[in-house]
Amino acid sequence: MIPDQLQHQIPALIVLTPLVLGLITALIGRRGLGWWIAMLASLLVFAGSIQLLIDVMHSGTYTVSYLMGNWPVPYGIEYRIDPLNGGVLCTVALISAAVTLFARRSVASEVSRDRLHFFYAVWLFCQTGLLGITITGDAFNLYVLLEISSLATYTLVAMGKGRDRRALTAAINYLVLGTIGASFILLGIGFLYMVTGTLNMMDMAERLDAIYITWGTAEPQYQKTVLTGFAFLFVGVSLKLALFPLHTWLPNAYTYAPAAVSALLAATATKVGAYISIRFIYTIVGTDAAFRGAIPTHVFIMVSAGMAILLGSYLAIKQDNVKKILAYSSIAQIGYIALGFALDNKNGLTAAVIHIFNHALTKGGMFMALGVVAYRLGNTRLQDLRGLGRKLPVSMGAFTAGGLGLIGVPLTAGFVSKWYLVTGAIEAGRYEMAAIVLVGSLLAVVYVWRVVETIYFGKRDEGAPNVQEAPITMLVPMLLLIGASIYFGVDANTTSWIAEAAAETLLGVQP
Amino acid sequence: MLDFLHDHYNYWVTIIIMMIGFYAVVAKSNLVKKAIGLGIFQTGIFLFYISIGKVDGGTAPVKVMGEQTDVVYSNPLPHALILTAIVVSVSTLAVALAIIVNIREKFGSIDEHDLNHLEAEQE
């Protein structure tokens, strides 16, 4: 079907397609063409990443390695795909394709017409960065791609200025904190490079293992350097991931960005941050140094995650803008993911990986439903949503189904993740964390119910403008994601197969 | 103590430059000054990378012609990495300034206190 030659090049093509097509979009400068090119790129990338994940899962060793320019490891840049980043790659590609389809009408109503082709160029650069971070096996390459995606993200958030000028201040706040985070990552990679002399992740991990052997002896080598490097990396990544208490940039950025951008960011950007965290802790530095060394990082993560779950959910209840409710809920959901990888056992890791995917589907779909509201009403204030359930039955139905997923009701994808998470917490003997997960779910009931009640039982104001259901290009991707989140809640075999394989490879269990 | 300071002076320089930049980011309310602070902060990290490429007694990493086989070269890789990082830093500054120009147009101020005030009024 696909020529062999081409199939071997898929890892490179996944990153190059959006990059090159993005440049073309900006250079052609035809306003109408931007979206078509973006859509084409997203679909190609999606097809490629599915093919890649299938290759990985059926490749006995669970890895596919691609050498950029055929330079041997560790001199050249290696693209290395295992079940973890294969899964994250598919998540990013799926969400990007769905949100791009959604973006056409939504963005046209929020971004001025003569900027549209630039918008889609930056949109594609953002995808390039996110896909590149996920696929690369080189630590410095990861930093560069992280900055590509971040710079694109700041620009995309600032594009919301047409609707609300606060998008600009949100963007500059995000830029300042994001740049500090990225600089910390750069510094951390520098420390690790200093002791290992390599940038290839696998090579770095092997050389670090050789260093760790000396740590038990009378003369431990480079102990302080490695731990300092890891500390910088961890804080930097946590800023990108918006892990409590480094989440302050997130609510405003999500709230004032254009609707399609919120959907893309909420579903992919922080998820890729979680991936970087997992990759650095488990593959490169290793849990022996990260968790059981001089600094018990997992305890820090658990405290942060617990605070994120409780405070994020509590603050979500207090908000009056529905987009902000979802933004604070995202902070709580990031807490669940972080808790999953801090537990350091198979079920916890599986929960983190599977929740990256499940939450991306749910949140992406819900932000799209709010995009429909913004498209029809011009804002997303809770009071303006009164009685919208009868006016926008499909979108609001999708929002409600997504809300059930956030709570973690059985038969939704959210339930599967929380099942693994609670099992993992109990296995690790962390009963208090299991309790926090349950309390977080109860708080989610409150903030979801607050919106659902307004939508279905509120009365529309007299003389409120008559609104219609959204155009079909907005409904299809939204229903696709929400439908998928329910499908993977009922039949979780595929997702848990991949997530468990990812957890096993990370923990070094032979499949 | 003096030895400790002297042996690690490249790290001390890095730390001092980074903290000067970080101070500007945290303490200054003018957004352009914050952007400059970010630039200084990143420059500190660049110097750190460049200084770790130095090998004791190493010469410039250009192949020495002739019979000599025991030449020690400094590590050129960090320099190559930092060239990329400098490009990233310049782009970040460009994006920051572009956003600040937009803020000036929409709010009429680039002072953080004024902006917080204006935003609070908009609520």
ipTM of the complex: 0.93
Joined together, the tokens standing for residue A435 give: 């309790």
Is B92 in Cβ contact with A147 (below 8 Å)?
A: yes
Task: Find how far residue A472's CA is from the centre of its chain.
Answer: 26
Phi, psi of A468 (to 5 degrees): -115, 165
Measured CA distances, B49 to A186, A223, B22 (Å): 9, 19, 18
| pLDDT in the model for residue B98 | 93
Domain assignment of residue A374, yes or no:
yes
Domain assignment of residue A401, yes or no:
yes
Is A176 in Cβ contact with B107 (below 8 Å)?
A: no
A263 in Cβ contact with A348 (< 8 Å): no
Domain region containing A404: 296-506
Q: How many CA atoms lie within 13 A of A418 on its CB side?
A: 27
| pLDDT in the model for residue B114 | 86
| pLDDT in the model for residue A509 | 61
Domain assignment of residue A406, yes or no:
yes
Question: Is the CB of residue A194 less than 8 Å away from at least one CB of chain B?
Answer: yes
Domain assignment of residue A69, yes or no:
no
Question: Is the CB of residue A303 less than 8 Å away from at least one CB of chain B?
Answer: no
Q: Does domain B2-60+75-122 have CATH number 1.10.287.3510?
A: yes
Closest CA in chain B for residue A190:
B49
Closest CA in chain A for residue B76:
A197
| pLDDT in the model for residue B23 | 93
Question: Is the CB of residue A33 less than 8 Å away from at least one CB of chain B?
Answer: no
The burial class, CB within 10 Å (0-12 / 13-18 / 19+), for A219 is: exposed
- Alpha-carbon distance of A11 to A314, in angstroms, equals 42
Domain assignment of residue A196, yes or no:
no
Tell me: cis bond preceding A220? Omega within 30 of 0 counts.
no
Domain assignment of residue A353, yes or no:
yes
Chain segment A6-64, per-residue pLDDT in tens = 788 888 888 999 999 999 988 887 767 888 888 999 999 999 999 888 888 888 788 88
Chain B contacts of A188, Cβ < 8 Å?
Answer: none
| pLDDT in the model for residue A388 | 82
Question: Is the CB of residue A26 less than 8 Å away from at least one CB of chain B?
Answer: no
**Average pLDDT estimate for B84-106:** 92
Domain assignment of residue A127, yes or no:
no
Q: How far is B43 from chain A (nearest CA, A)?
A: 10
A256 in Cβ contact with A217 (< 8 Å): no
Closest CA in chain A for residue B105:
A165
Is B52 in Cβ contact with A193 (below 8 Å)?
A: yes
Joined together, the tokens standing for residue A232 give: 């910088």
The DSSP element (H or E) to which A80 belongs, if any, is strand A78-81
Contacts of A276 (CB under 8 A, 6+ apart): A133, A142, A146, A237, A240, A241
- Nearest CA among B80, B107, B37 for reference residue A183: B37
Q: How far is A404 from chain B (nearest CA, A)?
A: 30
The burial class, CB within 10 Å (0-12 / 13-18 / 19+), for A369 is: buried
Q: How far is A163 from chain B (nearest CA, A)?
A: 12
Closest CA in chain B for residue A185:
B45
- Alpha-carbon distance of A431 to A280, in angstroms, equals 27
Is A158 in Cβ contact with B41 (below 8 Å)?
A: no
Q: How many domains does chain A have?
A: 1
Question: What's the sign of the alpha-carbon dihedral A49, A148, A286, B76?
Answer: positive
- Alpha-carbon distance of A106 to A92, in angstroms, equals 20
Domain assignment of residue A33, yes or no:
no
- Nearest CA among A467, A339, A456 for reference residue A403: A456
Chain A to chain B, count of Cβ pairs less than 8 Å apart?
A: 70
Is B100 in Cβ contact with A143 (below 8 Å)?
A: no
Closest CA in chain A for residue B110:
A169
Question: Is the CB of residue B95 less than 8 Å away from at least one CB of chain A?
Answer: yes
Question: Is the CB of residue A232 less than 8 Å away from at least one CB of chain B?
Answer: no
| pLDDT in the model for residue A31 | 67
Question: Is the CB of residue B32 less than 8 Å away from at least one CB of chain A?
Answer: no
Q: How far is A166 from chain B (nearest CA, A)?
A: 7
Residue ranges of chain A with pLDDT lower than 70?
Answer: 1-2, 31, 463, 509-511
Q: Residues of chain A with pLDDT > 90: what percent? A: 38
DSSP assignment of A27-71? HH--TTHHHHHHHHHHHHHHHHHHHHHHHHHTSTTT-EEEEGGGP
- Alpha-carbon distance of A443 to A316, in angstroms, equals 9
Contacts of A413 (CB under 8 A, 6+ apart): A357, A358, A361, A362, A405, A484, A485, A486, A488, A489, A492, A495
- Alpha-carbon distance of A363 to A327, in angstroms, equals 9
The DSSP element (H or E) to which A443 belongs, if any, is helix A431-457
DSSP assignment of A318-372? H-SBHHHHHHHHHHHHHHHHHHHHHS-SHHHHHHHHHHHHHHHHHHHHHHHHHHH
Whether B4 shows a pLDDT value over 60: the answer reads: yes
Of A158, A187, A193, the CB nearest to B102: A158
Of A168, A169, A176, the CB nearest to B34: A176
**Average pLDDT estimate for B90-118:** 90
